[in-house]
Amino acid sequence: MPVIQCPIEDCEYETPDVESVVAAALITAHATSHQTRNGSAHVEKVKRPTVSSAGTTQDWQYFKSRWDDYVRATRLRGTDKVIQLLECCDDQLRKDLTRNAGGTLTGKTEDEVLAAIRGLAVREENTMVARVTLHNMRQERDEPIRVFGARLRGQASICKFQRQCTNCEADVDYTEAMLRDVLCRGLEDTKVQMDLLGDKNQDMTLEQVLTFVEAKEAGKRSAARLLLPQSTDAMTSSSYRKQKKPSPLATPPKNQEACTYCGTKGHGKNSPTRVRRTECPAFGTTCTHCGKDHHFEKVCRNKNHTRSTDHEDNISDTLCGLTSTDTTGSITLDHHIFDPSTDKWYRRPSKPQPYIRL
């Protein structure tokens, strides 16, 4: 009887020369061992990638990597691979491929079909435009540095940072160095940027720069979490103190009635002499209305005397600075106030400067 080999790829098991019924039973039992080895968990079916027209070079590279993963997972071979590749195209792109080829493409190889798809699906861009776009990229607010690095790497893949060596004619790729400089320039946090530029190691690789910035970001997040409970406790303590000890602005202080001698508040309405001597600005002055001491004319209750005119203050201010000069020397005049009722000048102390008690 013919020998039957296991259909599983890379498996060298084959049945001995036995009857067909026995060989079928042996193959079935062997297949069970494969299932046990691979596990009984259900593996989700791999999703086929898609490609459409008017895409960028970066989009095409992403599709190509997805397609390679799909082929590796499904183990496609030959014509089946080409058919599945054509099924990745959307309707419009599939029509354009058929019209451009003048018929079906199932008879062509995978590389030929990929080249045909790329020619219609990818919109070619100027390399210099791609490089300018790369240099203008900036880290977004609250964007992790690894995500920003991935965006930069995707854009740099179409910038063609390769040069041919003039000596050995080998292709030299300097993408990593360009990415490092662009990443340092595009950092959103200026403090982290200054720390990076001020570090003693100025020959960091791209991975070292990513690790450095990542550590700074982790430190900022940890510090924010540590400071949050402290600020909450401070606010709670402040609220407790405010509740326990009312603000002076909320509760009016004592002795808020206007003083009967000076008209101001803060030292009581009719304070004793010992209090007015130190706190009342009218203490020691003479009223220009009634001629009595220790009160201002604005609170004077004497209605008999005629109130002095307003121009007397101006006259008295002028008299304050007058000096009399004779042969013996200069004599400074004291402050005087003119009383129209008696038509005489009286020596009186000047009014105190206005003030407000806070």
pLDDT of 90 > 70? The answer is yes
Given this model, what pLDDT does residue 244 score?
Answer: 54
Instruction: Provide the pLDDT confidence category of residue 35 given band limits of 50, 70 and 90.
Output: low
Q: What is the mean pLDDT of residues 192-207?
A: 89
Report the C-alpha dihedral over residues 67, 68, 69, 70, rounded to 10 degrees: 50
Instruction: Provide the pLDDT confidence category of residue 315 given band limits of 50, 70 and 90.
Output: very low
Instruction: Provide the pLDDT confidence category of residue 324 given band limits of 50, 70 and 90.
Output: low
Given this model, what pLDDT does residue 308 score?
Answer: 45
Q: What is the mean pLDDT of residues 302-309?
A: 55
Instruction: Provide the pLDDT confidence category of residue 240 given band limits of 50, 70 and 90.
Output: low
Residue 352 tokens read as 């105190």
- Say whether 222 sits in a helix, a strand or coil: helix
pLDDT of 164 > 70? The answer is yes
Instruction: Provide the pLDDT confidence category of residue 138 given band limits of 50, 70 and 90.
Output: very high
Given this model, what pLDDT does residue 358 score?
Answer: 81
Given this model, what pLDDT does residue 148 score?
Answer: 92
pLDDT of 254 > 60? The answer is no
**Could you tell me where the beta strands, DSSP code E, fall in 132-287?**
162-164, 171-173
pLDDT of 145 > 80? The answer is yes
pLDDT in tens, 183-192: 999 999 889 8
Domain boundaries, the chain: 1-40, 57-121, 127-224
H helix or E strand, kind and range, residue 100: helix 91-101
Instruction: Provide the pLDDT confidence category of residue 37 given band limits of 50, 70 and 90.
Output: low
pLDDT of 169 > 50? The answer is yes
122-126, 133-137, 219-223, 331-335: range with lowest mean pLDDT? 331-335
74-88, 170-184, 230-244, 286-300: range with lowest mean pLDDT? 230-244
125-134, 227-236, 255-264: range with lowest mean pLDDT? 227-236
Report the C-alpha dihedral over residues 179, 181, 184, 185, rounded to 10 degrees: -110
Given this model, what pLDDT does residue 187 score?
Answer: 92
Residue 142 tokens read as 């609250």
Q: Is 159 exposed, middle or buried (0-12, 13-18, 19+ CB in 10 A)?
A: buried
What CATH code would you report for 127-224? Answer: 1.10.1200
pLDDT of 10 > 70? The answer is no
pLDDT of 199 > 80? The answer is yes
Distances (CA, A) of 312 to 249, 265, 289: 40, 27, 12
